[in-house]
Structure 1
Amino acid sequence: MTTGLRVCVVGPGAVGGLLAHSLLDAGIATSLLAHQRREQQIRTHGLVLVEPGGKENVKTPRVVGRASELGEQDVVFLCTKSIALPSLAPTLAPLIGPGTLIVSLMNGIPWWFFGGRGGDGSPLRLQSVDPDGAVSRALPPAQCLGCVVYLSSSLDAHGRVVPGAERRLIVGAPDGGNVDGAEAVAALLRHARFQVSTSGNIRREVWAKLWGNLALNPTSALTLATTDELLGSPLTRRLIENLMREAQQVGERIGIDIGMTVAERIAATQRLGAFKTSMLQDVESGRPLEVDTIVRSVSEIAQHVGVEVPFIDTILGLVALRNRGLVERRSRH
């Protein structure tokens, strides 16, 4: 099944690096497409994973900085930050053929979520996600699979992948179709020792993860607090509950029922203990935040379907200002 398969991981950072290393460790030839600094890092030191106990497991895959150096692929895993995608997507054209499966492992609402039509059947392309349609033109939604990521992984100061214990992934096609493609990708990932399930409603799975991220990511970026601190304070917990209720209403309006109450979702998060959200980690590292796909996209959907979301709009305004400050400071250095 894996013999002769052309596989590329775009964005071999914390998640993409773990994915690529696992595929390579399973004997699946995998190429990497990386930005200049990460490309040079992997060329010089290899793709390094730190195993329990501190031992380094080093792979030496082909890594390039331009898609044209690789050509058409059978499977492309997109593991970049969502903020990079509008400018990156058109450059990926050499990777994408008519039979290429495009698998997104990214936070927030993806460009393929509505397939061009909203939950009420009217035309819908989210300006916050795909401003001029360039992403959908470069990465056709009909060829896309969603992959919802529940794993812990980070890069240390040396660019080494430091994996956590959880390795759970959910794969599915946006419209519940392309079952064969979803099963093929799931089998590939299982071969790489991930815990993989397939879903006939991947939009629901995306929204279920977004439900928590929408509330916890921006509040942690603003307060610099971990999740246990946010949920342990009655005032910030109340804010998070209100954010989640609004998102739940928007989800219901577009036909998504999570099948869980706000209290149940918060209890599940509390069982995970103290952890830093991706936005908090980005703030601490001085990186731009994924405001558009995680927060602004939900505000835009709410406006489209006629749901008032004052808490979401308020947190959007605040975290957008925090992000602007990060971007300005980064541009000065």
Structure 2
Amino acid sequence: MSSQSIFNSVIVGTGAVGTILASRLQASGRHHVTTVCRSNYEVVRQKGFKIRSTIFGDHTFHPDYVAPSVEDAAQQSRSYDFVILCTKAFPSRINSADVVAPLVSEHTSIVTMQNGVNTEDNLIEAFPGNPVFPAVIYLMSEQISPGEVVNGGYIHFIIGANPPTQGMAEGPAKTRAIERFARDQDIAKEFAADLVGGNIPTDLTDNIQGYRWLKLVWNASFNPVAVVCGDRDTGMLLADPHSRELIVNVAREIWRIGETVTGRPLPTFPGSHSPEMIVESTKKLAPYKPSMLQDHLNSRPMEHEVILRNPLDAARRVGVPAPHLESVYAILRLKASPTEKGLERGQTVPANL
């Protein structure tokens, strides 16, 4: 650990995204980094992570400590300042709050990188006194073998505290909410500065939920349509006018739902000023298989609950029609594995983390 490291941080779910974040936090010189690994534990413990990156160069990353489980990571002598959750979200199967609970103390901040919307709700409920940051990352990376990560193209990180609930009545509760937002935003600002120190372009925002919905515009359109249209990559999807039209229609619905739920226009950055622009920006990239398609092809569970069902639930609450999203979700459920089909909200299985 560098003599300048002042934070003790743990990454839960050290796949492609978790590996890049862990390596850059360590590179900032301000974080002692523990990684929780599962299938890649022995390789990483012995040899570290082999990273091939067009952004950060080819190198080997050795975490300060490699843990085979959350329980092992919790046995370290120092408590954690940051718990960074990089697992996929399957709320009907695994409660993320239960997973990270052994790592959380009264001064721990929780950063969740999970896709979809409302994935942080159970964390906020379980740890009401702790800052919980539902962050957003745009990253092209893949773990091609245990402990070997390929990264290239583009990376951007966005973080910010959840602002006070809109329409809160004046009074002590609103005052406390404003004070908490200011406290949490200061923590987010420091975390963002550390990622910048590790050479990850990072934005601090007061509209993090808007950015969550903005990312969902892509995730909820390209991901499921790639599966329901016959296991096609982005190039094949956009070359066909019918699948392209379906993607655009789903993206438009997510955009409308997001703006209605958040009560403000979705934030934008270059290439994302409209659903149509997001689709066109994807057309300029080399064709690739979205993560949900990769999971489907490898018989892994798909994140259809947080990427499709949660926004559909939100659409019904706020009265926004989403017929294309409804249809895609219905078909995707039919293509899900038998295990996924049998799981409904409230059912759980043990978390193997």
By the TM > 0.5 criterion, same fold? yes
Looking at structure 1, the residues matched to 144 and 83 of structure 2 have their Cα atoms a distance apart, in angstroms, of: 25
**Residues 1:138 and 2:138 are matched in the alignment:** no
Q: Which residue of 1 aligns with 2:259?
A: 252
Looking at structure 2, the residues matched to 252 and 206 of structure 1 have their Cα atoms a distance apart, in angstroms, of: 11
Which one of the candidate residues 271, 291, 303 is aligned to 2:304? 291
Looking at structure 1, the residues matched to 284 and 129 of structure 2 have their Cα atoms a distance apart, in angstroms, of: 35
Q: Which residue of 2 aligns with 1:240?
A: 247
**Residues 1:322 and 2:335 are matched in the alignment:** yes
Looking at structure 1, the residues matched to 266 and 80 of structure 2 have their Cα atoms a distance apart, in angstroms, of: 34
**Residues 1:213 and 2:226 are matched in the alignment:** no
DSSP-derived class of the 2:199 partner: coil
Q: Which residue of 2 aligns with 1:312?
A: 325
Looking at structure 2, the residues matched to 189 and 55 of structure 1 have their Cα atoms a distance apart, in angstroms, of: 19
Is the Cα contact below 8 Å between 1:287 and 1:327 reproduced in 2?
no
**Residues 1:109 and 2:128 are matched in the alignment:** no
Deviation at 1:168, TM superposition (A): 1.2
Cα 1:291–1:43 shift into 2, 3 Å:
same
Within a 5 Å distance, the mapping from 1:67-106 to structure 2 comes to: 67=71, 68-70=74-76, 72-83=79-90, 86-106=94-114
Identity of aligned residues (%): 29
**Residues 1:29 and 2:42 are matched in the alignment:** no
Which one of the candidate residues 289, 309, 331 is aligned to 1:276? 289
Q: Which residue of 1 aligns with 2:190?
A: 184
DSSP-derived class of the 1:180 partner: helix
Is the Cα contact below 8 Å between 2:86 and 2:112 reproduced in 1?
yes
Deviation at 1:56, TM superposition (A): 4.7
Looking at structure 2, the residues matched to 57 and 8 of structure 1 have their Cα atoms a distance apart, in angstroms, of: 19
DSSP-derived class of the 2:317 partner: helix
For residues 183-223 of structure 1, give each alpha carbon's deviation from its aligned partner in whole angstroms, at most 9, with x where no partner exists. Answer: 11101111111111111101111111101111110011222
Is the Cα contact below 8 Å between 2:35 and 2:65 reproduced in 1?
yes
Higher relative contact order (CA 8 A, sep 6+): 2
Is the Cα contact below 8 Å between 2:53 and 2:152 reproduced in 1?
no
| Structure 2 alignment gaps of length 5 or more | 165-180, 268-272, 342-353
Is the Cα contact below 8 Å between 1:2 and 1:188 reproduced in 2?
no
Deviation at 1:327, TM superposition (A): 5.0
**Residues 1:224 and 2:231 are matched in the alignment:** yes
| Amino acid in structure 1 at the alignment position of 2:97 | A
Q: Return the TM-score normalized by structure 2.
A: 0.79
Cα 1:54–1:22 shift into 2, 3 Å:
closer
DSSP-derived class of the 2:265 partner: coil
For residues 115-151 of structure 1, give each alpha carbon's deviation from its aligned partner in whole angstroms, at most 9, with x where no partner exists. Answer: xxxxxxxxxxxxxxx6xx5x44334486111321111
Cα 1:54–1:208 shift into 2, 3 Å:
closer
| Amino acid in structure 2 at the alignment position of 1:204 | G
Which one of the candidate residues 149, 164, 172 is aligned to 2:137? 149
Looking at structure 2, the residues matched to 227 and 2 of structure 1 have their Cα atoms a distance apart, in angstroms, of: 43
DSSP-derived class of the 2:94 partner: helix
Looking at structure 2, the residues matched to 252 and 23 of structure 1 have their Cα atoms a distance apart, in angstroms, of: 33
Is the Cα contact below 8 Å between 2:213 and 2:254 reproduced in 1?
no
Q: Which residue of 1 aligns with 2:202?
A: 196
Q: Return the TM-score normalized by structure 1.
A: 0.83
